[in-house]
Amino acid sequence: MPLKSILQSLSYCKEFENMLKNSMKEIFISIIIPVYNEEENVTPLYNEIISSLEKKYKDFEIVFVNDGSTDNSFQKLLGLNKKDNRVKIINFRKNFGQTSAIAAGFDFCKGDIIVTLDADLQNDPADIPVIISKLLEGYDIVNGWRKNRKDKLLTRKIPSFFGNRLISFITKVKLHDYGCTLRGFKREVVKNLTLYGEMHRYIPAIASKFGTRSIEIPVNHRKRKFGKSKYGIGRTFRVILDLISIKYLLSFSHRPLQIFGGLGMLMIGAGFLTGISLSYEKFVLRHSIADRPLLFLTILLVFLGFQVITLGLIAEMLTKIYNEGLHHNTYSVRDKIGFENENIDDST
């Protein structure tokens, strides 16, 4: 190949690389951070995020969601907003929980790419560019995996180990770490989500029903320096209840009558069989069945079967209402600071 052609090819490659870099810089990024009593952490966290993003991406916002903090977290956030107009604040009227805080961030942010992380400085903002690069490769969700987790063994790491495997088994979405808040999303993914309870941890499983493409990558995890954890072993029970709800949403949310109807028909069928057995004893063998527990079981099975089928029909109607767009926020906003539209949203 002539030297001139080789140089032209190299020039085209260089031009393409520059175009790719420019397109990466032009994309708008939203960083969403739920905050609850983290007054000592928010300023160092802001500085780390700026250091991580500013040299690589020119268009981004940092959305802090103050989840009813009772310390000086909100005042610290106001100071950051005065210093940097890229800092935006959603201030809740009271504590609604991390899931509601993330949902509010999704509702009000404007990024093409959205990254969530905790405010406790245990998630490392230096991992954010890696997550963004994976999203730009074509993934819809990038999940962080705290491979070398710096938490207590008995109260955090062991319950998390078994919980992650249980969630992976039930949802069929295999992840090592469902509890890591450090995640990246494309905008079109989060705009289809309705979150409540403790469901922020199940976002990859919920989104899987939309056919999303996701990946899990190891991220740095650090020891907590300031403040104390807001989560204890008691949260396990709420997680299990939400897991039951997630399984229903993933498997039967569009056809609830199939699970309730199937169970009801099974009960009626069992009652019908025991009824045939009792009828044989009564009319053929001439045995008394008035005091037989099986008689009461037969009646109970038939009635319960019809009730469960009726419950399935009610679930079908509720599902239809839900899917037709009934939307009910799980939070109430007192202030929105730094957004173009300063109207206060009183949705509850």
Question: Residue 331 and residue 216: Cα distance in Å, rounded?
Answer: 29
What pLDDT sits at residue 20?
47
Question: Residue 100 and residue 82: Cα distance in Å, rounded?
Answer: 26
pLDDT one-digit tens code per residue, 5-58: 544 444 444 544 444 454 445 789 999 999 999 999 999 999 999 999 988 898
Contacts of 32 (CB under 8 A, 6+ apart): 63, 65, 102, 105, 106, 109, 114, 115, 116, 117
Where helices occur in the chain by DSSP H, the ranges are 3-26, 42-53, 73-83, 98-108, 128-136, 158-171, 187-190, 203-208, 235-252, 256-283, 293-323
Q: What's the pLDDT band for 238 if we cut at 50, 70, 90?
A: low
Beta bridge partners of 313: none
What pLDDT sits at residue 133?
95
Mutual angle of helices 256-283 and 235-252, in 10-degree steps: 90
DSSP-derived secondary structure letter, 153:
I
Q: What's the pLDDT band for 232 if we cut at 50, 70, 90?
A: low
Q: Is 61 helix (H, G, I), strand (E, B) or coil?
A: strand
Of 218-222, 293-297, 319-323, give the lowest mean pLDDT range: 319-323
Residues 249 and 206: beta-carbon distance below 8 Å = yes
What pLDDT sits at residue 269?
92
Q: What's the pLDDT band for 2 if we cut at 50, 70, 90?
A: low
Q: What's the pLDDT band for 155 if we cut at 50, 70, 90?
A: low
What pLDDT sits at residue 158?
80
Order of strands, edge to edge, in the sheet holding 60-66? 214-218, 141-145, 183-186, 113-116, 29-35, 60-66, 87-92, 333-337
| Higher local confidence (pLDDT), 203 or 2 | 203
Question: CA angle at residue 73 from 57 to 222, to 5 degrees?
Answer: 60
Contacts of 332 (CB under 8 A, 6+ apart): 92, 93, 94, 96, 346, 347, 348
Question: Residue 333 and residue 348: Cα distance in Å, rounded?
Answer: 8
Specify the amino acid at residue 192.
N
274-292 mean pLDDT: 87
Beta bridge partners of 23: none
97-126 mean pLDDT: 93
Residues 305 and 328: beta-carbon distance below 8 Å = no
CA distances from 169 to 129, 145, 165, 249 (A): 31, 17, 6, 15
Q: What's the pLDDT band for 80 if we cut at 50, 70, 90?
A: very high
